[in-house]
Homo-oligomer: A and B are copies of this chain.
């Protein structure tokens, strides 16, 4: 569970004793295969889930089956902290790649947050950042064109993965099918493919075999109009 500890430390000033209380509350983990559903819309899960390894995603579909992805859940991310308070899931969580998921009983979260204001604050903070990211996604989908949308998403993932040292030489893993990418930026698969080609030919970014290569992140950021402030990462 050190991924969770690490994540909380990048956001808040939670201290070691509180951290270990939280990480020790974690029950054993379980693996999920690519594409499998971890929690379903309407569920009332009794545990809060934490990604240990792999990529998961929040998503929801319209009546006519058009899917939208709301978030990529990277190692250390909490999948469904809301069900601690809100009880009922209003969207799906599924595995974008094979992944390992840990469980923390809902009741544990509730009592911990009652007794340890600092833990409550750290977790609350996670939600605040998720929310800020979501706002940026609304802006992205609502007000940017295809190529910039994709570029912006790449910049965001680049920044988040850099914070956990998962980017080397502008190269990082993105173990998801293009259809999932399309569902996150609100484009059709066909148009996504064309836009990726354009980005590649412009030398801005390449997505190939589940690996993203960014030759010059500054240039990509400028192209996308990306400003990392909304991620609220502590500088290090």
| Residues A105-135 near B (CB distance < 8 A) | 113-115, 117, 120-121, 124-125, 127-132, 134-135
- Tell me which of B70, B91, B125, B138 contacts A85 (CB under 8 A): B125
| Residues A125-178 near B (CB distance < 8 A) | 125, 127-132, 134-139, 141-144
Is residue A86 contacting chain B, with contact meaning CB distance below 8 A?
Answer: yes
Number of this chain's copies in the assembly equals 2
Residue contact B134 to A85, C-beta cutoff 8 Å: no
Interface residues of A (CB under 8 A from B): 12, 42, 58, 60, 62-64, 66-68, 70, 82, 85-86, 88, 90-91, 113-115, 117, 120-121, 124-125, 127-132, 134-139, 141-144, 185-186, 225, 229-230, 232
The 7 sampled A-B contact pairs (Cβ below 8 Å) are: A67-B143, A68-B138, A85-B124, A86-B128, A88-B232, A138-B138, A143-B186
